[in-house]
Amino acid sequence: MTINRDLVKGLSLLAIALFFGLQANSYPLGTLGRAGPGMFPLVVSALLFLVGSAIVVRTRIVRGDRLEFKARNIALVAAGLLSFVLLSGYVNMLVGLTVMVLISSYAASDFKLSRALALSAVLACVALAMKLGLGLQLPLY
């Protein structure tokens, strides 16, 4: 029996959406005019649930690719995440982001250094905008 890769993606998104949506209910939602701390995760979870549902429904219509587990790619992504955590804590977050993207991007079959560096730069800009624009306490530098 083959497992449809898109079906697994859709079900994973549904599970994540349900998990965070249920967690959001433990915080006050507030109103649309004055949102509480639970509003943002609830809205994002609802949108993620819709995307996951659409993917699951699409698997009933379009034949998808077979799911394959590649231990090398799983290990690379896990190493990227671990490097982000360690480098963000001991060096700074910009170095952690860059190393995470470089390691994780290497798991792609069409790895390009220029694309990985561009993605790192975009993520760094987003993190900087969140620090400066929203006042988040991120250890960027």
- Output the tens digit of pLDDT for each of the chain's 141 residues: 678 889 999 999 999 999 999 998 888 888 878 878 888 888 999 999 999 999 999 998 888 788 888 899 999 999 999 999 999 989 989 999 999 999 999 999 899 999 999 999 999 999 999 888 878 787 888
The residue to which tokens 């690379």 are assigned: 76
Contact 11, 53 (CB under 8 A): no
Q: 54 is in which domain, residue-wise?
A: 5-61
66 inside domain:
no
Write down which residue in 61, 91, 106 finishes a domain. 61
DSSP assignment of 101-115: HHHHHTTSTT--HHH
Same domain, residue pair 35 and 84: no
Structure-token pair, residue 87: 């480098």
User: Of 61, 81, 101, at which residue does a domain stop?
Assistant: 61
